[in-house]
Amino acid sequence: MKKYRILFHIDLNAFFASCEEAEDPSLKNRPIGIGGGDRGILTTANYEARKYGVTSAMPVSEAKKRCPRLKVLPVNFTLYEKYSRYFFDYLSTYTKQMEPASIDEAYLDMSDAVEGRHPLKVAEKIQSDLLKTYKLPVSIGIAPNRFLAKMASDMKKPLGITVLRKRDVKKKLWPLPIEDLHGIGKKTVPNLKLLGIETIGDFARFKDKRKLEAFLGNQTEGFLQKAHGESSAVIDPSRQESHQSIGNSKTFEGFLHEYQEMVQALKRLCSRVSSRLKDKDLAAKTLAVQVRFNDFESRSKHFTFPYHTNDFYKMFAEVERLFDDLYKEKPVHLLGVNASNVEKTETLFKQLSIFEVKDEKPSDENLEKVLESINANYDKPLLKKGTGDSSEWK
């Protein structure tokens, strides 16, 4: 007898904001946004702020006009990594058949884990435990495949649990607007609406596939299958590393007062992050630097490379540049370096543009590892890699 799959998609609600509320209960029921500076853009907003029309990707200035009481907090990758680790460690107690989709969401194959129990009861316990233990609200979708589980978890937020079976597709999925179809790009939606497609049902029933292919290309058939509740994608635990972030931070009880002391501390942190990436055969595309000053003002800034890397020298060059933008002439209480947008090195290759090729030099990975391991133990670099240019000795 065929065993039906029971998949959960578990999505942390307003994750960055929820982490801040978990750390500081005084923020509960207060509108907060996560972003950078008065001229910055919000990364996310909690549900209290959303009542005022505040959304992610909104300029901070506009958000404060809509909600004058809005408290804007800086991005804090170290904090998010900590709570993400709590989240995934807890989920792993249920099943190893788990695949993170990002830092704050995961797919779980619960077919064996729910044996003898109703899936709804299991989902309710997961939701309750995460809220009670870690103060993390989640929404959960339960379905026979990944796509329907993802769509289900989006239907009730925050703190929702939704079951979406294939027999429910026409009733629950088809009435939703076409922009809610997971994976459809924002630029594609207006084109589909030109064809008279307003809902997922309109898309599923559309007869002229050639017109759809003009906008969706070879993805057309896959989207049509999804609109009918079909999905062949499976949960792959081996992809578990691909959305991790790896970071190191250090708190200085006596504070750092000199700029060079701060730079050397960042160099040691960056070296550890680079080494951890290499130990796991990972490479990162995004770097972030976090600074907390003696008056507890926190600032952070991030940079995204055009390619993935775990090269210490490339990483530290950007870390130092980011810190220069954040630096103020005040003592420093905490420094942190975080690498995210992480992938396995074996799945990556770097495509060099014709402008980059001439600047690309062969690297001696073993030499770099030795230099990093030695320098990481000292306040200043004792050794550095030579340039091969004899003029530096003149």
Q: What whole-number distance in Å separates Cα of residue 166 and Cα of residue 146?
A: 12
Q: How does strand 98-102 pair with strand 105-109? A: antiparallel
Do 308 and 244 touch, CB atoms closer than 8 A? Answer: no
Cβ neighbours of residue 377 closer than 8 Å, sequence gap 6 or more: none
Q: Tell me how far CA of residue 214 lies from CA of 53, 211, 217, 227, 276, in angstroms.
A: 35, 5, 6, 18, 45
Per-residue tokens: 325:
């933008």
Report the Cα 39 to chain-centroid distance in Å.
Answer: 23
DSSP SS3 for 149: helix
Distance CA 32, CA 17 (A): 7
CA dist 32 and 356 (Å) reads 42
Here the tokens at position 303 are 């940079």
How far CA 255 is from CA of 65, 292, 295, 334, in Å, comes to 37, 10, 11, 8
Per the CB < 8 A criterion, the answer to whether 46 and 17 are in contact is yes
| Per-residue tokens: 78 | 């170290």
**Active-site residues: which are they?**
105
Torsion sign, CA atoms 23, 25, 28, 31: negative
Question: How many CB atoms neighbour CB 120 within 10 A?
Answer: 13
